[in-house]
Amino acid sequence: MKLHARFRRRLRDCLMISALTSTLCAFGTNSALAAGQQAWPARAITLLVPIAAGGGTDIIARAVGEKLAAELGQPIIVKNQAGANGAIGSAAVARAPADGYTILVGSIGTHAANQCLYKLPYDPVQDFTPVALLAKYNNVVMVRRDSPIKSLDDLVKLAKAHPATLTYAITVVGSSAHLALERFKSEAGLDMLGVPYNGAVPATVDVLGGQVDFMLDTVVSQYGNLTSGRARALATTMGERRSDILPKVPTIAEQGYPKYDVAGWTGLFVRSGTSAEIVEKISTALQRVYATGKLQKLLGSQGLDVTTNTQAEFAAFVAKERQTWCDVIKTANIKVE
């Protein structure tokens, strides 16, 4: 069949327009798809610290956040959301989208002790995926500078001679420092009175002022008081490893309790459901940051044992810590009033 030349030209033009339109549509669809599936991270990341600014966990988060931002190529915003031993901030991350843009800086409190102390608005197992360990930190048993208690042995003898009389400050119920002291009480067979506070600052004020006999807190928080002479250190808690910044202070293990080994810790968690690829990217980036050694030097000077591990290793570590501290809480009959 022969077509009129003019008609053939019109048909050819229509076919060309149709082909061009299809190409443009396909390009637009692919571009939209690409925009919706940008490689993570494509924007700023929030690092949520569920305790008040200024403590050891906050110091670690800010130092790590700065280095991690450079490694990932996106800004990292550190946000503090304190309350209920970290439970309020943790619940906020549990409600956030599972997209890797909100990362929790968790601890013994948020992922080991809280579930045995509180009715939580989140499930530390079901709602989170552990990513990597950030650091461990040493605790210190301390008294005011003019205390008649000169050593750990003095403290133990006094507590045994006068049961339920000696007082100790609890910075936060369920914190690593609190649990470390409860474990020591159990191992040493001591009966003492705990005085709960809402943070290390008011607890420290009363210990230094003589209203409470002693306390156990993180080395990083109490370093200034100890080096200035306002307080005296009796012992640290990490097994037989002495604190790098308090090398003259013997550990509890060195003073007659060889099985005693307690460290506080902090690590990164994301909401469960976050893709394995994103979790691996965060973990790998953190390992690259730690491989330079700069972070270890910076935070090590403040008494922190800066170390990381793989995602699988950290998940196993958190599970073990949860069992350990829930057992301590049950044995010590710790309750939140």
Could you read off the pLDDT of 10-26 as tens digits, one per residue? 535 544 444 444 443 44
* Chain segment 198-251, per-residue pLDDT in tens: 888 899 999 999 999 999 999 988 999 999 999 999 999 999 999 989 999 999
User: Phi, psi (5° rounding) for residue 245?
Assistant: -100, -5
- Compute the distance between CA of residue 183 and CA of residue 261 in angstroms, rounded to an integer: 10
Q: What is the dihedral of CA 122, 177, 65, 322, to 10 degrees?
A: -40
d(CA 46, CA 240): 37
Structure tokens given for 273 = 């459901």
CB 94 within 8 A of CB 86: no
Q: What is the pLDDT of residues 84-108, one digit of tens each?
A: 889 999 999 999 999 999 999 999 9
Radius of gyration for the chain, computed over Cα atoms and rounded to the nearest angstrom: 27
pLDDT of residue 20: 41
Q: What is the reported pLDDT for 99?
A: 97
Split at pLDDT 50, 70, 90, the class of 337 is low
Q: What pTM, to 2 d.p., does this model score? A: 0.82
**Residue 163 is encoded by which pair of tokens?**
């049961």
- Strand order from edge to edge, sheet including 231-236: 193-196, 167-170, 214-218, 139-144, 231-236
Q: What share of the chain is helix, strand, coil (3-state, %, to 5)?
A: 50, 20, 35
- Band (57; pLDDT cuts 50, 70, 90): confident
Region of residue 193 (phi > 0: left; psi between -120 and 50: alpha; otherwise: beta): beta
Give the phi and the psi of residue 239 in degrees, each rounded to 5.
55, -130
Among 51, 185, 180, 170, CA closest to 107:
51
Confidence of residue 142 (pLDDT cuts 50, 70, 90): very high
In angstroms, the CA 183 to CA 185 distance is 5
Q: Domains plus CATH for the chain?
A: 45-136+264-332 (3.40.190.150), 139-255 (3.40.190.10)
Q: Give, in degrees to the nearest 5, the angle at Cα 312 between 307 and 289.
A: 35
pLDDT number for residue 190: 97
